[in-house]
Amino acid sequence: MSRVSKTAGCAIALIFAVGVAHASEVTPPADIAKAGKITYCAEFGNPPLGFYDENQVLGGLDVDIGTEIGKRMGVKVEWKETAF
């Protein structure tokens, strides 16, 4: 591997690391912070985006992303099923 390739790889890794570090710092909007929760609406009959598993627990990409956003904001997450 050439020196240029190694340098480019290190530069890309550094840029990625800075982006990830910045993404972990989330300040919720005032109304969400005051309520202490964020409410998401989703359709849960649409795997892999949203679904109920065999134990009737919500799962899917929408749930994973919404839960992570709530976690980073430091607020509870509430889900409401909505037909689109």
Q: What is the pLDDT of residues 14-71, one digit of tens each?
A: 676 655 555 566 889 999 999 999 999 999 999 999 999 999 999 999 999 999 999 9
CATH superfamily of the 3-81 domain: Periplasmic binding protein-like II (3.40.190.10)
> Which pLDDT score, from 0 to 100, does residue 26 have?
84
pLDDT above 60: residue 12: yes
Question: What residue ranges do the domains of the chain occupy?
Answer: 3-81
As a whole number of angstroms, the distance between CA 53 and CA 64 comes to 14
Instruction: Write the burial class of residue 11 (CB in 10 Å: 0-12 exposed, 13-18 middle, 19+ buried).
Output: exposed
- At residue 15, the pLDDT reads 72
- State residue 6's pLDDT score: 63
